[in-house]
Structure 1
Amino acid sequence: MILTEWLLCPICKNKTRIKLRADTELKNFPLYCPKCKLETLVNIKELKTTIIKEPDAKTQSR
């Protein structure tokens, strides 16, 4: 039997519409939360979620 869990929003900690299996890997995945209505880039490996921080376009140097 393969372990499955709901993917939680890293911001508000509520369930999203995505279910993960233990062997799922996602890179640069745009996770949308229907409750807080925010989109966050995440990496997921072995049910561990890490948030990807993107630099703001206004603060980038040339």
Structure 2
Amino acid sequence: MKQSKWILCPVCKNKTRVQIREDTELKNFPLYCPKCKQESLIDAKELHITVIKEPDAKTQSR
């Protein structure tokens, strides 16, 4: 039987509504946390989850 686990929010560390199995692969997945109402981009492969850090928007100078 394949192992599965719940994805935890990288911000508040609570359980989200998404569950993955060990054969699941996610790339640039927008993970939403209903508790802290934050959205994070993640990659997942073989139950290993990596948070993708997006660069902040830079202000344009004239």
**TM-score normalised by the shorter chain: which range applies?**
0.7 to 0.9
Normalised to the residue count of structure 2, the TM-score between the two structures is 0.88
What is the CA-CA distance between 1:9 and the residue it aligns to? 0.6
Provide the aligned length of Structure 1 versus Structure 2.
60
What is the CA-CA distance between 1:35 and the residue it aligns to? 0.6
Answer 1 or 2: which has greater helix percent.
Answer: 1
Runs of 4+ in 1 over 6 A off after TM superposition: none
Residues 35 and 3 of structure 1: is their aligned pair in 2 closer, same or farther, counting only changes over 3 Å?
Answer: same
Q: Where in structure 1 are there 5+ consecutive unaligned residues?
A: none
What letter matches 2:9 in structure 1? Answer: C
SS in 1 for 2:37: coil
Percent same amino acid among aligned pairs? 70
1:8 counterpart residue number: 8
Q: Deviations over 1:2-44 (max 9, x none)?
A: 1111111111111100110010010000100001100000111
Q: Where in structure 2 are there 5+ consecutive unaligned residues?
A: none
Aligned: 1:47 with 2:47: yes
Normalised to the residue count of structure 1, the TM-score between the two structures is 0.88
The CA RMSD over aligned residues, in Å, is 1.4
Larger C-alpha radius of gyration, 1 or 2? Answer: 2
Once residues 59 and 47 of structure 1 are traced to their aligned partners in structure 2, the CA distance between those partners, rounded to angstroms, is 37
